[in-house]
Amino acid sequence: AILRLMLFLNHFCCNVFILVAAPFEDDDKIVGGYECRKNSLPYQVSLNAGYHFCGGSLISSQWVVSAAHCYKSRIQVRLGEHNIDTNEGTEQMIDSAKVIRHQSYNGNNLNNDIMLIKLSRPATLNSYVNTVSLPGSCASTGTQCLISGWGNTLSNGGKYIGQGRLMQKKIISVIK
């Protein structure tokens, strides 16, 4: 998952806020992550299709950026989440209106692994739900990036062992 994440970061010109949680078993990890302070990353969203399957980042009140390998034709975006198993009173659940993969996405090598989701209505921005700024340029090798999301924090553990249902974060370096 980390390799996939790094590829994704690389192809996305190093947006440091992107979460990756791929839709494959054993690929849904945030290895070495630790629990975020609740709602401290208000741009982080969970993508849901009856179950959490990927993450994304809110970039405006009506648009989310995620990874193209997370594509589904219909997605419910869950904003203001921390524990994805319980109702904490901060969540907004908004269906997608459009799901747009990069036109040159390549599922074999994951080039251009980026996707936009338009929400069917604007999110209400507050202290639990807010946008993240897009970078103006590429990050150089070794730049420290914050990754976040939900998933297993162990590289060799079962799915969602430990705190994987609570939002996790980790600092990693851009490798290329």
> What is the contact surface with Ca ion in residues (CB under 5 A)?
81, 83, 88
What the block records as the tokens of 12 is 């996305």
Strands (E), the chain: 34-35, 44-48, 52-60, 63-66, 76-79, 92-101, 115-119, 144-149, 168-173
Q: Compare residues 83 and 163 and give the one whose CB is closer to Ca ion.
A: 83
Query: In this complex, which beta carbon is closest to Ca ion, that of residue 8 or of residue 42?
Result: 42
Least Å distance between CB 89 and Ca ion?
Answer: 8
Q: Which is nearer to Ca ion, 49 or 174 (CB)?
A: 49
Alpha-carbon span 7 to 27, nearest angstrom: 14
In angstroms, what is the minimal distance from the CB of 116 to Ca ion? 24
Select 26 or 88, whichever has its Cβ closest to Ca ion. Answer: 88
- DSSP one-letter code for 22: -
Cβ at position 12, least distance to Ca ion in Å? 27
The partner residues of 73 in beta bridges, in order of sequence, read none
Query: Would you say how long the chain is, in residues?
Result: 176
Single-letter residue type at 12: F
Distances (CA, A) of 133 to 12, 65, 130: 14, 11, 10
Minimum CB distance to Ca ion smaller for 7 or for 55: 55
Q: How far is the CB of 34 from Ca ion (least distance, A)?
A: 18
As measured in angstroms, the least distance from the Cβ of 17 to Ca ion is 20
Q: If you search the block for the tokens 């969540």, which residue do you land on?
A: 91
